[in-house]
Amino acid sequence: MRIIAGKYKGIILNLPKGKETRPLKDRVRESIFNLLIHSKKILLQLEKSNVLDLYSGTGSFGLECLSRGVQKVIFIEKNKIAIKILEKNIAKLKVGNKIKIFPQDVFNLVKTHDRLFHSNPFNFKYDLIFCDPPFKDTNINQLIELIFKKNLLKKSGIIILHRPKNSNEKLSNYLKVVEERDYGISKIIFGEINQSLS
């Protein structure tokens, strides 16, 4: 797996040996960024954006963002093996000053919101939120509602969901889908917060 474009183009990323994480394939990542940059339905300005990478694994999406000029990436990942590899990838790219890692479960981290006011990632707004929970997870709507209720996304911001293609989940009304693409066994959903519910 490599960085596809930008400042760190061509750098090979470290990957886990087992199947505990499911890194995005290069082809899928490339397609995601092509849509982010060129789709007329998406108004995001990727450069200088702040990115929240939920269930970040070894960081392939967030690190690709950094290569393409985003301002900052917050990684949230609870798997200890994945975190160690993520830290190696960050060191390889020398981007430690543009990232912060929260080694916790997403929903458990919310519970510390009041105690960690200045350092909790749920106290800020983001331009782009990438959500790649395990395919077996069924709480995707809780995740969408968390993003809405914590007011995490800027008005022009984009949420990206990575889900199994054969999933027939009825997504929360808080999410307005603007684009959807299938890739092999998975699908990528691009959405905005439904402003009519704000």
Residue 38 within a domain: yes
Longest Cα separation, the chain: 45
Whether 154 contacts 127, CB under 8 Å: yes
Number of domains in the chain: 1
101: CATH: 3.40.50.150
Residue 5 within a domain: no
Residue 4 within a domain: no
pLDDT, tens digit (0-9, with 9 covering 90-100), for 120-145 = 676 788 999 999 888 888 788 988 98
Residue 73 within a domain: yes
Burial of 135 (C-beta count, 10 Å sphere; 0-12/13-18/19+) = middle
Residue 2 within a domain: no
Exposure string for 2-30, b = 16+ CB within 10 A, e = fewer: ebbebebeeeebeebeeeebebbeeebbe
Q: Which of 106-110, 168-172, 186-190 has the lowest mean pLDDT?
A: 106-110
Domain interval for residue 156: 26-197
Q: What is the average pLDDT across 7-26?
A: 81
- Hey, is 147 helix, strand or coil? helix
Could you tell me how many residues make up the chain?
198
Average pLDDT of the chain, as a whole number: 87
Residue 172 within a domain: yes
Q: Report the distance separating Cα 106 and Cα 6, nearest Å.
A: 29
Residue 155 within a domain: yes
Give the residue among 67, 92, 88 at the shortest CA–CA distance from 5.
67
**pLDDT number for residue 116:** 46
pLDDT, tens digit (0-9, with 9 covering 90-100), for 45-87 = 898 899 999 999 999 999 999 999 999 999 999 999 999 999 9
pLDDT, tens digit (0-9, with 9 covering 90-100), for 103-122 = 988 888 766 654 444 566 76
| pLDDT band at residue 22 under the 50/70/90 scheme | low
